[in-house]
Structures are given as structure tokens and as C-alpha cells.
């Protein structure tokens, strides 16, 4: 079993309002996919995984609270959300448009919106990977799923449109 992986992921739920069904669906799919396959370890880790990750937001900063398998604290990284804020807003709007097009049965719009949504998602993933460099060792697909969780966290906090 690979020891550079996440065994559990949690989003800080305190003080969050209820989420739209579409946002919750995005989060659940990303969470499921992330736990099925991922590559994740604190940079220079001396403790083997699987690791526990809790994502939260505090004062405009994203907190990666990383713990060992037994819950012992390893490291907490605080990253500014500022470099991701516009992409989160764009991603949120594209997701809304995508789900509206599905509900309105407008398949001609779906492909265009989905391509734009994937492009914004990939750009956010690249920025996240850059921000995690030297802090957390991960691959593109894992970072992509984490970006989705960050978006869902920001959207649930009402910041997806801020």
C-alpha cells in the first residue's frame, strides 16, 4: 500500500450554511474520487501515511491541517485564497451555467460551457500546485480534486460570487 496518500479528507463545516444540491454533488464526487486515488504527503515527511486532511478557511486563508493516520498533528499550511479568488468565482459561475443548461435541456451549450469550466479548473489546479510547491507533494489529479473541494468550501461560505 502506498504511504504517500490521503486516507481521509474533511471540510470544516462549522458556521457554513446549507449548500445548493449542485455544489454538494460536486463536493461529494470530488471527495469520493480523491479518496479512491491520490498522491499526497507533506514535503519532507518523516511519518508515513495515509494522512488525514482537514480543509478550512480562516480570515481569507485556506488551512491545510495535515495529521498522521492516528490523528496526530503533523503540519498546518496556511495559504492566501487571493490568488484563487477570481478562478473560484469564474468556476462557480460556469458550474451554475452548466447546471442551468442541463435543466433547460440545452445540449448545444453544454459542451462549450464544460470546456470553459475544465479550462478554469485546470488553471486553478496549476496555481494550487504552484502554491503547494515545497509544502505538499502531490500530483495534478489529486490537486485538481482538492481544487474542487476548495471551490465547494468557498461557494458554501458564500464567497464563490464575492
Q: Which residues pair with 41 in a beta bridge?
A: 137
Q: What is the model's pLDDT at position 156?
A: 53
Lowest-confidence region among 21-25, 44-48, 97-101: 21-25
Query: Domain for residue 52, yes or no?
Result: yes
User: On the CB side of 135, how many CA atoms lie within 13 Å of its CA?
Assistant: 16
Compute the average pLDDT of residues 39-52.
Answer: 91
SS3 51: strand
Q: What is the model's pLDDT at position 40?
A: 95
Alpha-carbon span 72 to 152, nearest angstrom: 26
42: domain range?
6-156
**pLDDT confidence tier of residue 14, bands split at 50, 70 and 90:** low
Q: How many domains does the chain have?
A: 1
DSSP 47: S
Query: Domain for residue 38, yes or no?
Result: yes
Q: What is the model's pLDDT at position 147?
A: 93
Query: Domain for residue 162, yes or no?
Result: no
When the pLDDT of each residue in the chain is averaged and rounded to a whole number, the result is: 85
Compute the average pLDDT of residues 117-132.
Answer: 95
Q: What is the model's pLDDT at position 83?
A: 92
Compute the average pLDDT of residues 124-142.
Answer: 95
Q: What is the model's pLDDT at position 161?
A: 39
Q: What is the model's pLDDT at position 16?
A: 45
Query: Domain for residue 1, yes or no?
Result: no
Which pTM value belongs to this model?
0.85
Query: Domain for residue 20, yes or no?
Result: yes
Query: Domain for residue 126, yes or no?
Result: yes
Query: Domain for residue 161, yes or no?
Result: no
CB 12 within 8 A of CB 54: yes
Backbone region of residue 42 per phi and psi (left: phi > 0; alpha: psi in -120 to 50; beta: other values): beta
Amino acid at each position: 500500500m502506498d504511504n504517500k496518500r490521503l486516507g481521509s479528507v474533511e471540510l470544516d463545516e462549522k458556521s457554513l450554511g446549507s449548500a445548493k444540491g449542485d455544489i454538494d454533488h460536486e463536493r461529494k464526487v470530488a471527495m469520493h474520487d480523491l479518496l479512491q486515488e491520490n498522491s499526497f504527503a507533506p514535503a519532507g515527511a518523516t511519518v508515513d501515511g495515509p494522512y488525514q486532511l482537514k480543509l478550512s478557511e480562516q480570515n481569507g486563508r485556506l488551512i491545510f491541517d495535515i495529521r498522521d493516520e492516528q490523528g496526530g498533528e503533523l503540519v498546518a499550511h496556511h495559504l492566501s485564497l487571493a490568488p484563487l479568488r477570481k478562478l473560484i468565482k469564474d468556476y462557480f459561475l460556469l458550474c451554475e451555467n452548466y447546471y442551468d443548461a442541463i435543466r433547460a435541456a440545452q445540449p448545444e451549450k453544454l459542451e462549450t460551457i464544460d470546456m470553459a469550466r475544465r479550462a478554469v479548473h485546470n488553471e486553478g489546479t496549476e496555481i494550487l500546485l504552484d502554491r503547494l510547491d515545497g509544502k505538499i507533494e502531490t500530483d495534478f489529479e489529486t490537486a485538481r480534486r482538492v481544487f474542487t473541494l476548495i471551490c465547494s468550501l468557498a461557494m458554501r461560505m458564500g464567497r464563490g460570487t464575492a
